[in-house]
Structure 1
Amino acid sequence: MTQKSLTATLRRLERNGMVERVVTSTRPLAVEYRITPLGTSLQELIDALLRWTTATMSDVERARARFDDEA
């Protein structure tokens, strides 16, 4: 991931209220991104997606192999 792509993604997440950007007062200045309560509310959905991915990965791999064999 490029720095530009990472910055754009973090800005979108910030705009949507998922993360907050915090500039520290240390020298040199540093920027931290912290997950917000809204972002934290996605945890259950992310966990469900991870469980689904784990459970169906062999099906996905078979579908990929069939696709690649036909290409």
Structure 2
Amino acid sequence: MVSDHPVVVYEPDEDGARRVRIDGRISGRAYSVRDVAAFMQEAGLQDYDEMDVVRSALIEWRGGGPDVWAH
């Protein structure tokens, strides 16, 4: 299934990290909303902060929303 969202944050792994995919490419593993914001800034959304990440319609959260970081 193809996502309508350019950013996908996958469910937490056994370490509490979540893979982050932006525009079809894995950007890395995030351990917090701050990490997701940093990946989005690196992808060209320099003004994104943690609150933007929590509210963004660009992000599909799989396995729990922005408040879920434990496996």
User: TM-score scaled by structure 2?
Assistant: 0.23
Larger relative contact order, structure 1 or 2 (CA cutoff 8 Å, min sep 6):
2
Larger radius of gyration: 1
TM-score when scaled to structure 1?
0.23
| Higher helix proportion (structure 1 or 2) | 1
